[in-house]
């Protein structure tokens, strides 16, 4: 969801200071007893890193440009310092073999974990009764007949990593990425589509205040198509539905399908065939600062973020999902995260197997007869 409007400066700074103190205490408990914490960085080094980070991520260079002036900038520096301390402690553990992933200075390095959650997480979740029965559309193959690895980026079905900024529209980005993928697979044309149209025009969801991917699919079906990113660009805020652009139906889909829940094999079968929208629990501090490697960090199954599974594979005996995020290419592995796959819980890592879905496109827009024939075939297979 989007963050609330800024409170009075004094109250905001006090709240930030309290949150920082709590985060510092949590960081102190984070390091394993067998791994001593790394040496504290010198103040001059931290300040240099903070200045470089602000320059890289477009933060104001002058204190006068910050909402709270010099005092807020000092507090932001302390939040940055505390996050850096947490990152260094985690990476020391990773160097000792306790983690399969590393942390780094992401675009959220000057935010407390509470602020991070308020800015970029916007998946609302569904009641179980709202789910369709899990489809058997891709269950014609046994697991041992599936490819060992799939990467739809290499197969030309994934557009560039996008940036939802401070809009809680992750659900729209997830759904659009899945629609871009199936359209490319069916037509051979990779077209970047408009998240802003979905955010503005899907009346079943809350725009930058959150939504679900299935509603986005249904909006495009009901609308008869969706416009391109170039012609209906992202603004980072809720807008009024553009009556002219919403009638530009550049890409269509015919249906959408829910993957069988709590079943990583079913999810693998779907991802082997196309990019799939998935919901995950991304509220953890390790997720906030993820930089590289196979994420096996602490997370729950309280689904709060929509992303897109665009492949899977294995590295050194560790299975992983390739997940496209919408936080710019400055987060993670160029905007992607590899998440542990085939974990003990049937819900998957961070709940990735709990609420997955994908759009269906039977053929190119120019051949409605073929689409109808494929629709009949799908009913027979399912």
Question: Residue 40 phi/psi, 5° resolution?
Answer: -65, 135
* Residue that is written with structure tokens 């079913």 in the block: 266
Q: Confirm whether 170 is a catalytic residue.
A: yes
Q: Which residue has the tokens 């906030």?
A: 288
DSSP string, 14-27: HHHHHHHHHHHHHH
Please pick, among 167, 201, 305, 350, the residue that the annotation labels catalytic. Answer: 305
> Quick check: helix, strand or coil at residue 9?
helix
CA dihedral 242, 229, 305, 293 (to 10 degrees): -170
Distance CA 169, CA 174 (A): 9
Catalytic residue among 167, 170, 201, 350: 170
Which helix H or strand E contains 223, and what residues bound it?
A: helix 213-223
Residue among 265, 272, 278, 274 at smallest CA distance from 150: 272
Beta carbons of 109 and 80 less than 8 angstroms apart: yes
Give the three-state DSSP class for 359: strand
| First and final C-alpha spacing in the chain | 36
Partners of 314 in beta bridges: 319
Residues 269, 293 contacting (CB under 8 angstroms):
no
Token duo for residue 302 = 């309280």
Angle of helix 213-223 versus helix 170-187 axis, rounded to 10: 50
DSSP state of 211: B
| Residue from 163, 183, 263, 325 carrying the catalytic annotation | 325
214-234: buried (b, 16+ CB within 10 Å) or exposed (e) per residue?
bbbbbbbbebebbbbbeebeb
**How many CA atoms lie within 13 Å of 174's alpha carbon, on the beta-carbon side?**
31
Where in the sequence numbering do the catalytic residues fall? 170, 305, 325
């Amino acid at each position: 969801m989007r963050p609330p409007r800024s409170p009075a400066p004094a109250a905001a700074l006090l709240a930030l200071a309290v949150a920082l103190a709590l985060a510092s205490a949590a960081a102190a408990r984070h390091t394993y007893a067998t791994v001593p914490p790394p040496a504290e960085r010198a103040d001059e080094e931290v300040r240099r890193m903070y200045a470089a980070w602000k320059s890289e991520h477009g933060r104001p260079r002058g204190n006068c440009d910050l909402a709270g002036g010099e005092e807020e900038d000092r507090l932001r520096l302390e939040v940055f310092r505390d996050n850096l301390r947490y990152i260094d402690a985690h990476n020391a553990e990773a160097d000792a073999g306790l983690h399969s992933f590393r942390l780094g200075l992401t675009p959220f390095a000057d935010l407390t974990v509470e602020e991070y959650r308020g800015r970029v997480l916007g998946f609302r979740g569904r009641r179980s009764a709202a789910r369709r029965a899990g489809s058997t559309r891709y269950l014609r193959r046994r697991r041992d007949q599936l490819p060992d690895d799939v990467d739809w980026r290499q197969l030309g079905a994934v557009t560039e990593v996008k940036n939802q900024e401070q809009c809680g529209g992750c659900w729209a980005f997830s759904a659009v990425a899945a629609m871009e993928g199936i359209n490319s697979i069916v037509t051979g044309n990779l077209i970047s589509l408009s998240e802003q149209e979905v955010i503005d025009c899907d009346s079943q969801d809350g725009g930058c205040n959150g939504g679900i991917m299935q509603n986005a699919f249904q909006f495009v079906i009901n609308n008869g198509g969706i416009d391109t990113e170039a012609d209906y660009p992202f603004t980072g805020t809720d807008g009024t539905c553009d009556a002219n652009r919403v009638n530009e139906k550049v890409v269509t889909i015919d249906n959408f399908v829910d993957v069988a829940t709590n079943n990583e094999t079913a999810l693998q079968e779907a991802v082997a065939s196309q990019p799939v929208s998935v919901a995950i629990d991304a509220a953890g501090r390790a997720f906030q600062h993820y930089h590289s490697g196979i994420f096996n960090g602490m997370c729950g199954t309280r689904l709060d973020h929509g992303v897109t599974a665009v492949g899977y594979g294995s590295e050194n005996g560790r299975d992983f999902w390739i997940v496209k995020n919408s936080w710019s290419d400055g987060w993670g592995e160029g905007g992607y995260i590899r998440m542990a796959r085939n974990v003990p819980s049937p819900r998957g890592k961070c709940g990735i197997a709990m609420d997955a879905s994908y759009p269906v496109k039977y053929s190119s827009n120019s051949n409605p007869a073929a689409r109808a024939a494929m629709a009949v075939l799908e009913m027979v297979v399912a």
